[in-house]
A and B are shown apart, each in its own frame.
Chain A
Amino acid sequence: AQSVTQLGSHVSVSEGALVLLRCNYSSSVPPYLFWYVQYPNQGLQLLLKYTSAATLVKGINGFEAEFKKSETSFHLTKPSAHMSDAAEYFCAVSGLEGAQKLVFGQGTRLTINP
C-alpha cells in the first residue's frame, strides 16, 4: 500500500533561514505527489504538485520541492522563512492503481522564530 512518511512532527527555524520539510513515500511506481499547507482553523491549501513532469516543482509563496526517485523523496524547501509561513504542512500521494484519493503524511508543524 502507498504510504507517506514525514520526518519530524515539529520543525522550528529562524526568520530568514532555510526551511526544509522532509517527505518520503513508499511506492514501486512513482505516484503523484502533493504538498498542502494548513493554517490554524482553516482548510488545506495546495502548495505544489508533482505529476511526472519536471522533477523540481515550484509552488506558491516561494516554496519548491524536488522529486528524487532514487531516494523516494519529495522534500519541501524555501530559501528564506517568513513569519507567515508558520503552519502545518502535509505531504500527500495519490494515483496508484488509478485511485484518486489522497494519502497523507502525519504532518509537520513549522514554527518560525523572530
Chain B
Amino acid sequence: DSGVTQTPKHLITATGQRVTLRCSPRSGDLSVYWYQQSLDQGLQFLIQYYNGEERAKGNILERFSAQQFPDLHSELNLSSLELGDSALYFCASSGDGRGVGEQYFGPGTRLTVT
C-alpha cells in the first residue's frame, strides 16, 4: 500500500459526458502528479500540482483540467469525453517538491468511455 488513494476504481460513462477523478496523496506529501496509461500512448505525464498551485503541465488536453485543494487532495476533471480517453489514470505523490524524489502511485482509476 503506497498510501495514495484514488476514487473511483472504475468508471464507465458515455461519450460527451464529464467525470471527476479524485486523489488523496500520502500524508505529508505536497506534490501531486497525474498520469494517463493507455495501450497506444503508454504512461504519459498530464499535470503536476504543488501545495495547491500548478507546477508543470504535460500532454494534457484542453478538455481536461485539474486542481489541488487546501487539504492537498486533487481532482482531475475530464469533459466532452471521447472513446480515446478510455485509459487508466494514475495519481502519484511526492514530498516537498524541491528535490527529485521518488513518486508513490495510487491504484489508478480505470475509465471506460462507451
Contacts and interface: CB of A to CB of B under 8 A. Distances in A.
A92 B105 CA distance: 13
Interface residues of A, number: 23
Contact of A94 (B42, B90, B100, B105): B100
Q: Is the interface of B mostly helix, strand, loop or mixed?
A: strand
B83 interface: no
B90 A44 contact: yes
B58 interface: yes
Contacts of A36: 105
A29 interface: no
B56 A104 contact: no
Interface of B: 2, 4, 31, 33, 35, 42-45, 48, 55-56, 58, 90, 92, 94, 97, 100, 102-108
| 6 cross-chain pairs, A with B, having the tightest CB-CB distances, nearest first | A104-B43, A95-B100, A43-B105, A44-B105, A101-B45, A43-B107
13 contacts: A32-B100, A42-B107, A43-B2, A43-B90, A43-B107, A44-B105, A45-B2, A46-B102, A51-B100, A95-B100, A100-B100, A101-B45, A107-B42
